[in-house]
Amino acid sequence: MRYLSLLLSFLISVPFSFPAGAQTSGKISLVIVEGDGAINNVRQRTAREPIVQVEDENHKPVAGAVVAFTLPSQGAGGTFAGGSRTLTIMSDSQGRAVARGFRPNSTQGQFQIRVNASLNGQTASAAITQTNALAAGAAAAAATAISAKLIIAIVAVGAAAAAGGVVAATHGGGSTPASPAPPSVVTAAPSVGTVGPPR
């Protein structure tokens, strides 16, 4: 009996802790993994799928949280599968939730995707900012064409300047010095006289 009371006293004095990875009712948070700052191609109706991760207060992934993605009701934005503007899914074993099937609409501009997560009465929210724009390829092609025209203009100006320098040098108006004339050689011949009677 004495041993039993000692054992109970020992168990009471030892603090109990949850094993690692156990779900607790602590505060949760949302971390944006992908999609923030993405530029969607409105011509091809392609977009980057938003991905978030639900974490607990120790920054560990939380599985089984309910995650809702909500798109704007008007203006730039898009739809999920079936034309819906809201998508609700559960976070996976890594705490991640992927908004699959997102397609941008044809309206250009910046917009926000609202994300809300909930688990055991705890909630967290975040906003993913994206932009709907024309095809990136068309913009790149326009930039390349402008660059090519600029290079051609620079080459033309450089060629004209070089040609002007050649003309100036040919007509003596340049700064190139004239080559000096070779020195003249003067030779003196000895004079030969004759001696005779005075005249």
pLDDT tens sequence for the chain (199 residues): 555 454 445 444 444 333 333 344 469 999 999 999 999 998 888 888 999 999 999 999 999 999 999 999 999 999 998 899 999 999 999 999 999 999 999 999 999 999 999 999 999 999 999 999 986 544 543 444 445 455 444 544 454 445 455 444 445 545 555 555 555 544 444 444 545 555 5
Do the domain assignments include residue 122? yes
Find the radius of gyration of the CA atoms of the chain: 44
Do the domain assignments include residue 164? no
Q: How far is CA 73 from CA 83, 113, 199, in A?
A: 12, 11, 138
- Nearest residue to 45 via CA among 106, 98, 111, 131: 106
Do the domain assignments include residue 118? yes
Q: What is the CATH classification number for the domain harbouring 36? A: 2.60.40.10
> What is the model's pLDDT at position 48?
86
> What is the model's pLDDT at position 182?
53
> What is the model's pLDDT at position 45?
80
> What is the model's pLDDT at position 8?
47
What beta strand segments (E) does the chain contain?
29-34, 38-41, 51-55, 66-70, 78-79, 86-90, 96-98, 103-104, 109-119, 122-133
- Nearest residue to 112 via CA among 84, 139, 78, 152: 78
Q: How far is CA 142 from CA 2, 23, 73, 137, 146, in A?
A: 90, 54, 33, 9, 6
Counting the structural domains of the chain, the total is 1
Question: Which two three-digit tokens encode residue 162?
Answer: 């070089």
Do the domain assignments include residue 182? no
Do the domain assignments include residue 20? no
> What is the model's pLDDT at position 198?
54
Domain of residue 34, residue span: 25-134
Do the domain assignments include residue 76? yes
